[in-house]
Structure 1
Amino acid sequence: MKTCPRCDSSLDDEARYCVDCGAPQTEDAAEELDEYVQRQAQQVAAESGGTGGGGGGDFGNAGNAESDGGGSGFVPTEQLTDREQLWRRGCYVFGYGTIVVALTLVPQVGAFPLILGGIAILPPIRRLTAEPLGSPLKREVMAGLYAVFALLGVALLVLL
C-alpha cells in the first residue's frame, strides 16, 4: 500500500486519486484533472460571459452580469455588441454628466437626488449591487432609478 503525498492516507497501489482528499496519484490522473478543470473554467466563462441576447448596464449578453438575463461575470468591452457598447457609453455619459451638473448645485436640496441618479445609472454599480442582491439589476431598472432620482432632483430644484 502507498500513501497520499498530500494527506498521508493509505491508498491501494493502483489508486488514481486519493479517497480522502482527491489528489491525483499518477501523471495521467493529474493531466485528466487539469483537462477537467480547464473544461469547467471554459464552461463557466461561456455561461457567464458569452451567450444569449438582451442587454443590461455594462455587461454583454443575457448570460452575464451586464445583461437583462442576470449572471455575475464581467465581459470585456471587445465581446460586447455595438448596441451594448453604446448603452454602456451612454450610461457613463449620463451618469457622470448628471453628477457633474449636480455638484455645481450642491448647496441646493435638489442636487442630492441628482447625484444619486447619476450614480445609479453608472455601469459599475450593477456589479457592486449584484452580490448583495443575488443578481445584477436589469438595464431598465437602472434607467428607471436614474429617471426617478433625476425627476425628483429637478422637481426639488424648481420648487425650492
Structure 2
Amino acid sequence: MPSCPRCDAPTDDGDRYCAECGAPQTEDAAEELDEYVQRQAQQVAGGGGGGEGGGDSGGGDGFADMADLNDREQLWRRGCYVVGYGTIVIALSIGKISSIPLILAGIAILPPIRRLTARPLGSSLKREVMAGLYAIFALIGVALYVLL
C-alpha cells in the first residue's frame, strides 16, 4: 500500500490528496493546487482591480466586494462609513429638531444608499452626488441648530 510522501500516512492508489495532511498525490492534483494558490494570491494582492476616478466597479449591478476594489475606492467607502455614522451619532446626541437633517446627511453618505437608490433611479448615485447631498443636509442641520 502506498504512503503519502509528506506525512507517511497510508493512501490508496486512486487518491488525489492525502486524507491526513491534504498533500497532492498526483501530478494533476499538484498542478490543480498550484493554480488555486496562484488565483488566491492574485485576489489577495489586489489583482481584481477596480476603476479609477470614482466610478463603480465589479459585478453587473455596479457593485463589487471590498476585495475587488482598488485602494482609493476602499478608502472612500471606509471614510463614508465613518463620516456617516459619526454624523448620525452627533445628531442623536443633540436631540433637537436640527438633528433630523443631520441624520439624513449621515444616511445620505452611507455606501449602501447607492445600492438602494440604483433600482428606482435606474443607476446608482455617483459619490459626488452623495457628498453633495451630505453637505446640503449637514448645512441645513447646522443652520437649524444655530438658529434654534
Q: Tell me the amino acid that sits aligned with residue 105 of structure 1.
A: I
Residue in structure 1 matched with residue 5 of structure 2 by the alignment: none
Secondary structure of the 1:74 match is: coil
Where in structure 2 are the equivalents of 1:15-34 lying within 5 Å? Answer: none
Larger relative contact order (Cα-Cα within 8 Å, sequence gap ≥ 6): 1
Structure-1 separation of matches of 2:112 and 2:81? 10
Which residue in the other structure is 1:100 paired with? 89
Residue type at the aligned position of 1:87: W
CA distance in 1, matches of 2:136, 2:122: 23
Instruction: Tell me the equivalent position of 2:52.
Output: 53
Distance 1:138 1:73 in 2: 11
Match of 2:119 among 131, 137, 141: 131
Q: Report the Cα distance in structure 1 between the residues aligned to 2:49 and 2:76, rounded to whole angstroms.
A: 17
Secondary structure of the residue that 1:136 maps to in structure 2?
coil
Give unmatched runs, 5+ long, in structure 2.
1-47
Q: CA RMSD of the aligned region, Å?
A: 2.0
Residue 50 of structure 1, CA deviation? 6.6
Q: CA deviation at 1:91?
A: 0.2
Q: Describe the shift of the 1:52–1:84 C-alpha distance in structure 2 as closer, same or farther (beyond 3 A).
A: closer
Q: 1:76 aligns with which of 37, 44, 65?
A: 65
Gaps of 5+ in 1: 1-48, 66-70
1:140 to 121, 128, 131: 128
1:83-126 CA-partner distances (Å, limit 9, x unpaired): 110000000000000001101112x1110000000000000000
Residue 151 of structure 1 is aligned with which of 126, 135, 139? 139
| Aligned counterparts of 1:53 and 1:158: Cα–Cα separation in 2 | 39
Q: How many residue pairs get matched?
A: 101
What corresponds to 2:79 in structure 1?
90
Q: Name the % identity.
A: 71
Structure 2 CA distance for aligned equivalents of residues 81 and 52 of structure 1: 7
Amino acid across the alignment from 1:117: A
Residues in 2 aligned to 1:134 and 1:52: alpha-carbon distance in whole angstroms: 20
